[in-house]
C-alpha cells in the first residue's frame, strides 16, 4: 500500500499526492517534516501522546507562549512550499488559562478546549476536518474546536484579519509542514459522503409558527454525536433516528446552547442509510449541503443575547427548510429542482458534534430510535 509522499526539508514544488486507500499510520521521524496532503479531500488524523510530565499552568503560560513539549504545529501551503496560507497550533494538554488551540489566520488569541484531550489518556487521536465554510478539530471523537472562516477575529495587533481567515477557507491546501511532532503518527481518511454547502440561500422574513398544543412528547433524549468509533463515524444505522421529516409538521426539536461560531449539525440520510447531506446552523450562518449557504437572518442572530440552552426546531416538510426558535419561525426557504428532489428522500437523521447533555424530544408516534439510544447509559432522561 502506498504511504503519504514525504519530501525532504529542502522542498520540491509538485502536485499533492495521497493514496485514496491509505489506512496505515505513518511515523513522523523528524522535528520538521513536509508532506503532500490535499487537506479538503481527506480528513487528517494525528496520533499523539500525552507527555509523562507536564504543567497545565507554567509560569510563562500567563503570557503568549506554550510548552513546546506538548505543542503540535502545522504550516499549510497551497501550490508551493513558498506559499503559506495557514498556521495551526494545538496541544496535547488542556491549559488552565485556555492556551490550547489557535489558527493564526483566524484567532487573535488561543482558544480553550472543551475538555482535557482524550480524558487524560496517553494516546490521543486528533482529526482535522476542513470544509469550505469551517474547520472542526476532534480528539478521540470529542469536538474540541471549530472555526467558521467567514467569522475570523479582527484586531489591530494582527493586520489582515479577518480577510486571511476567509482566504484560508477557499485555499486548496495541498502540502503541510509538521513541526514539533517527532514520534507522532499521521494518516489520511477519505471524506466519504461529505461535502460543503456552496449554493447561496435566500433571506427570509420570520413568520408566526403553527405549533399544535396537543402534541405529546414521549421523552427527552440525549442528542449524542454520531461522530464516534461506535457509530462508525456517522455510518451506523443504529445511531440514527428514523423519521419522515418531509411529512412531519413538527420536525425534530433540539435543545442546545446557540453560539456564534459552533455549528449545530444534523446528518440527513435516506431510508437505506445513504448520507444525503448535513443541515448546519449557528447564530452566524445556515447551511444545507449543496443547496444553502447563507448568513443567519437577524431574527436568529438576536438569540446571541440568550443565556443557557435554547429549544429550536428543524423542519423539512414538503421541501420547505424551516428553523423555529421558541415557536417563532426565524428562517424559511422552499427548496427547488434537484435540491428538493434530493432532500425529499430524507427518512433518517443523526446528530453530529453534540453531546448527550444536549437533547431532542422523542415522539414514539412518528419516530423510531435505533438501538444506540437503548444501549448507551445516561442518554434517556426520565
More confident residue, 48 or 152: 48
Q: Does residue 199 form part of some domain?
A: no
Confidence of residue 357 (pLDDT cuts 50, 70, 90): confident
What's the rounded mean pLDDT across residues 282-287?
85
Distance CA 281, CA 148 (A): 11
What's the rounded mean pLDDT across residues 27-35?
92
Q: Is residue 162 domain-shared with residue 283, that is, in the same domain?
A: no
Predicted TM-score (pTM) of the model is 0.53
Model pLDDT for residues 295-315, shown as the tens digit of each residue: 788 888 877 656 778 888 999
**pLDDT for 11:** 37
Confidence of residue 382 (pLDDT cuts 50, 70, 90): very low
**pLDDT for 14:** 44
Q: Is residue 159 domain-shared with residue 240, that is, in the same domain?
A: no
Q: Does residue 374 form part of some domain?
A: yes
Label the pairing between strands 175-179 and 71-77.
Answer: antiparallel
Residue 56 has which C-alpha cell?
497545565
Element (H, E) at 308: none
**Residue 76: CATH number of its domain:** 2.60.120.200
Give me the residues paired with residue 36 across strands.
175
In terms of residue numbers, what domain contains 309? Answer: 207-381
Number of H helices, E strands in the chain: 4, 27
Which of 140, 164, 190 is the endpoint of a domain? 190
Q: Is residue 156 domain-shared with residue 184, that is, in the same domain?
A: yes
Q: Is residue 334 domain-shared with residue 219, that is, in the same domain?
A: yes
DSSP state of 111: B
Q: Does residue 90 form part of some domain?
A: yes
Model pLDDT for residues 310-331, shown as the tens digit of each residue: 888 999 999 999 999 877 898 9
Which of 163, 190, 217 is the endpoint of a domain? 190
Residue 140 has pLDDT above 90, yes or no: no
Q: Is residue 317 domain-shared with residue 179, that is, in the same domain?
A: no
Q: Is residue 47 domain-shared with residue 132, that is, in the same domain?
A: yes
How many domains does the chain contain in total?
2
Q: Is residue 47 domain-shared with residue 159, that is, in the same domain?
A: yes
Confidence of residue 218 (pLDDT cuts 50, 70, 90): low
Amino acid at each position: 500500500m502506498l504511504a503519504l509522499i514525504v519530501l525532504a526539508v529542502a522542498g520540491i514544488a509538485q502536485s499533492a499526492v495521497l493514496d485514496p486507500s491509505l489506512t496505515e499510520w505513518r511515523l513522523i521521524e523528524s522535528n520538521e517534516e513536509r508532506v503532500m496532503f490535499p487537506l479538503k479531500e481527506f480528513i487528517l488524523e494525528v496520533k499523539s501522546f500525552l507527555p509523562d510530565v507536564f504543567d497545565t499552568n507554567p509560569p510563562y503560560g500567563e503570557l503568549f507562549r506554550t510548552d513546546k513539549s506538548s505543542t503540535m504545529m502545522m504550516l499549510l501551503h497551497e501550490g508551493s512550499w513558498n506559499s503559506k496560507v495557514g498556521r495551526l497550533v494545538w496541544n496535547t494538554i488542556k491549559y488552565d488559562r485556555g492556551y490550547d488551540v489557535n489558527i493564526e489566520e483566524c484567532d487573535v488569541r488561543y482558544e480553550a478546549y472543551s475538555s482535557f484531550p482524550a480524558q487524560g489518556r496517553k494516546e490521543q487521536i486528533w482529526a482535522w476536518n476542513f470544509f469550505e465554510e469551517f474547520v472542526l478539530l476532534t480528539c478521540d471523537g470529542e469536538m474540541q474546536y471549530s472555526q467558521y472562516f467567514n467569522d475570523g477575529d479582527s484586531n489591530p495587533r494582527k493586520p489582515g484579519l479577518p480577510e486571511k481567515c476567509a482566504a484560508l477557507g477557499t485555499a486548496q491546501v495541498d502540502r503541510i509542514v509538521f513541526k514539533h511532532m517527532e514520534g507522532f503518527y499521521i494518516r489520511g481518511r477519505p471524506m466519504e459522503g461529505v461535502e460543503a454547502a456552496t449554493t447561496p440561500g435566500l433571506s427570509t422574513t420570520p413568520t408566526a409558527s403553527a405549533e399544535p398544543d396537543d402534541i405529546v412528547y414521549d421523552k427527552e433524549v440525549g442528542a449524542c454525536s454520531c461522530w464516534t468509533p461506535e457509530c462508525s463515524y456517522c455510518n451506523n444505522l443504529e445511531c440514527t433516528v428514523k423519521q419522515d421529516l418531509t411529512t412531519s409538521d413538527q420536525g425534530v426539536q433540539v435543545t442546545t446552547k446557540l453560539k456564534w461560531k459552533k455549528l449545530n449539525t444534523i446528518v440527513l440520510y435516506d431510508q437505506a442509510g445513504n448520507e444525503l447531506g448535513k443541515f448546519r446552523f449557528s447564530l452566524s450562518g445556515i447551511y444545507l449541503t449543496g443547496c444553502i449557504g447563507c448568513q443567519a437572518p437577524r431574527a436568529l442572530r438576536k438569540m446571541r443575547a440568550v443565556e443557557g440552552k435554547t429549544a429550536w426546531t428543524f423542519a423539512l416538510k414538503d421541501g420547505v427548510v424551516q428553523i423555529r426558535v421558541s415557536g417563532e419561525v426565524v428562517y424559511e426557504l422552499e427548496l427547488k429542482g434537484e435540491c428538493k428532489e434530493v432532500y425529499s428522500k430524507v427518512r433518517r437523521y443523526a446528530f453530529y458534534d453534540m453531546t448527550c447533555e444536549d437533547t431532542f424530544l422523542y415522539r414514539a408516534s412518528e419516530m423510531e430510535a435505533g438501538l444506540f439510544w437503548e444501549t448507551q447509559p445516561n442518554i434517556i432522561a426520565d
